[in-house]
């Protein structure tokens, strides 16, 4: 067990966590970022970030994430790959228990983000990785010249459908309504794209195929008509769920599992802050995650100064 006590332990290495790392380290605090998977979070699975102010042409999620991590590292942020299994927020020194080790901090910033939700059709789990995917950036390459479908009508579905056109022969967007949550400019782009087709007011009931995906059983919600759509891949973008299971009973969560905070990213527990997609908020974007991270780090610094007379 490490006896080192960090100033701030940040859980999650997406844009919120990395920005908190940068701001904390620039304030000369001893900061650790714990990440269980890939630095960059959801942003690292996003093909193109065209709405991050100043993002250069063809700015990819992985490239921006790498730059964010590098920048925090340059200012002294420490990083570790580990998975949080439990937390003890009851004392003045907060304890974050991971699979490999235990980390202690005067303050903790929760920046665990959100994970893709399953659509719930038959065969979704069985054919995961065999045609069913939740990440176009990771898997688009496998579908060069093939036919794919995208499920959903939000920003993720439309953005990733547009990205998939670079690889696939056709991209069929299957959406349960005939209007979209996605930004109008994105929807317009998709509507005008020669490779993109739409199946609206429809849901996927089943993925067909023994070893690999061969097609989807699609049901029209208005007519009840059932049809089969032959595709080699289906990309599911039906929303996200917050990654907060480990914090249940430790801090307040809303009915969907998101963390309520005040404007300074404080949770209901002293010394515990939350930033990014995991937080109750109106707009979940890279820019708002990065802003949350910056605010959380400075609020944590103020808290540490007051509490520990640093």
Catalytic residue among 86, 88, 138, 178: 138
138 is catalytic: yes
151 forms part of the interface with ligand NAP (CB under 6 A): yes
Binding mask of the shown chain, residues 37 to 66, with x at each position contacting ligand NAP by CB under 6 A: --------------x---------------
Is the Cα torsion angle 284, 287, 290, 291 positive or negative in sign? negative
Q: Which of 7, 147, 155, 292 binds ligand NAP (CB under 6 A)?
A: 155
- Extract the tokens encoding 173: 């967007």
Contact by Cβ (8 Å): 105, 7? yes
Position with the least CB separation from ligand NAP = 154
181 forms part of the interface with ligand NAP (CB under 6 A): yes
Closest separation in Å from C-beta 273 to ligand NAP = 21
Residues between 204 and 243 that touch ligand NAP (CB under 6 A):
237-240
Catalytic residue among 7, 82, 98, 139: 139
59 is catalytic: no
135 is catalytic: yes
Scanning 132-140, 163-171, 175-183, 221-229 for contacts with ligand NAP by CB under 6 A, the matching segment is: 175-183
> Site for ligand NAP (CB under 6 A): how many residues?
21
Residue nearer to ligand NAP on the CB measure, 50 or 73: 50
Scanning 56-64, 133-141, 176-184, 244-252 for contacts with ligand NAP by CB under 6 A, the matching segment is: 176-184
Residue nearer to ligand NAP on the CB measure, 26 or 175: 175
* Residues labelled catalytic: 135, 138-139
* Contacts to ligand NAP by CB under 6 A: 51, 119-120, 151-157, 159, 176-177, 181, 203, 237-240, 284-285
């Amino acid at each position: 067990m490490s006896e080192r006590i960090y100033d701030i332990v940040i859980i999650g290495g997406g844009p919120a966590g990395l920005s908190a790392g940068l701001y904390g380290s620039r304030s000369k605090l001893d900061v650790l970022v714990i990440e269980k998977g890939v630095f960059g979070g959801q942003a690292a699975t996003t093909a193109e970030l065209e709405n991050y102010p100043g993002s250069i042409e063809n700015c990819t999620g992985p490239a921006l994430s790498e730059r964010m991590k590098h920048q925090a590292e340059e200012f002294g942020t420490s990083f570790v790959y580990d998975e949080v299994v439990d937390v003890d927020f009851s004392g003045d020194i907060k304890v974050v228990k991971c699979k490999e080790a235990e980390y202690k901090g005067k303050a903790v910033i929760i920046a665990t983000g959100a994970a893709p939700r399953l659509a719930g059709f038959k065969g979704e789990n069985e054919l995961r990785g065999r045609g069913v995917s939740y990440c176009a950036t990771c898997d688009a390459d496998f579908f060069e010249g093939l036919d794919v479908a995208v499920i959903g009508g939000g920003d993720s579905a439309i953005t990733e459908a547009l990205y998939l056109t670079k690889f696939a022969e056709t991209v069929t967007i299957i959406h349960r309504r005939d209007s979209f949550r996605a930004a109008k400019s994105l929807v317009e782009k998709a509507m005008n794209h020669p490779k993109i087709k739409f199946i609206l007011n429809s849901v996927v009931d089943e993925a067909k195929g023994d070893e690999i995906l061969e097609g989807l059983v699609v049901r029209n919600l208005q007519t009840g008509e059932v049809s089969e759509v032959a595709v080699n891949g289906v990309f599911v973008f039906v929303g996200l769920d917050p990654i907060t299971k480990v914090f249940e009973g430790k801090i307040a969560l809303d009915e969907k599992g998101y963390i309520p905070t005040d404007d300074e990213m404080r949770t209901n527990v002293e010394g515990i802050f939350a930033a990014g997609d995991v937080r109750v908020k109106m707009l979940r974007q890279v820019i708002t995650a990065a802003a949350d991270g910056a605010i959380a780090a400075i609020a944590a610094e103020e808290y540490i100064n007051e509490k520990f007379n640093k």
